[in-house]
Structure 1
């Protein structure tokens, strides 16, 4: 079985090399047409036409902004809504732009809450 698998892989490699050589050789217009047709048949699925594509495992997020899947609660370029960009030094946490160096609920990173007797300084709880 292992022998057949290796033989199949070798045959696929040889076919790929043959197609490449034929497509590169001058005067072989038919091979160039086949190569171009193969490359042009690539299908691009965008979330503006197919919104469910954002719910597929491995997607960047479940929301669609400018034909791209994003997470509106963590995306710094689309924080809370499409096109809302966080300013320099701020990050997007729970759909709001916050300064992680001084925010008590998001100290240093999203969701890192300082306790009642400490404060957030330089992104650390109870720095001093």
Structure 2
């Protein structure tokens, strides 16, 4: 009976050692593989809190209302000196509705000059 118990303990020890090595291999392989989730395959990834935006352009989450490289639609880039406001490229130095920054509207008595309302 003692020999049977000793044999069972040795088998259990051998199984745990082998299992530990296999688990280590799986763990190392798992850590070396990176899974990249892109919005072209998983569109809901753009709805996650902290995402750059809810729209997907070239496998990246963007905001078409404010992204200067994807202004209003994917790939539409604003030219030098312009910014993207509400999906349109505007010049913040002279635009009455977006003076200096998006949604900064000058009143009727002032004009937008150098990105400031009522500069003079």
Q: CA RMSD in A?
A: 1.4
Find runs of 4+ consecutive structure 1 residues off by over 6 angstroms.
33-36
**Is the aligned partner of 1:70 residue 2:40?**
no
Q: Where does structure 2 lack aligned partners over 5 or more consecutive residues?
A: 1-24
> What is the aligned partner in structure 2 of residue 103 from structure 1?
95
Q: CA deviation at 1:117?
A: 0.3
Q: Where does structure 1 lack aligned partners over 5 or more consecutive residues?
A: 1-32
Query: Paired residues, what number?
Result: 96
CA–CA distance in 2 between the matches of 1:36 and 1:77?
A: 39
The equivalent position to 2:117 in structure 1, one of 95, 110, 125, is 125
TM-score with structure 2 setting the length = 0.76
CA–CA distance in 1 between the matches of 2:111 and 2:79?
A: 23
Q: Deviations over 1:14-57 (max 9, x none)?
A: xxxxxxxxxxxxxxxxxxx7786244322110000000000000
Q: CA deviation at 1:73?
A: 0.2
TM-score with structure 1 setting the length = 0.71
> What is the aligned partner in structure 2 of residue 81 from structure 1?
73
Work out which of the two has the higher radius of gyration on C-alpha atoms and give 1 or 2: 2
> What is the aligned partner in structure 2 of residue 37 from structure 1?
29
**Is the aligned partner of 1:56 residue 2:48?**
yes
Secondary structure at the counterpart of residue 97 of structure 1: strand
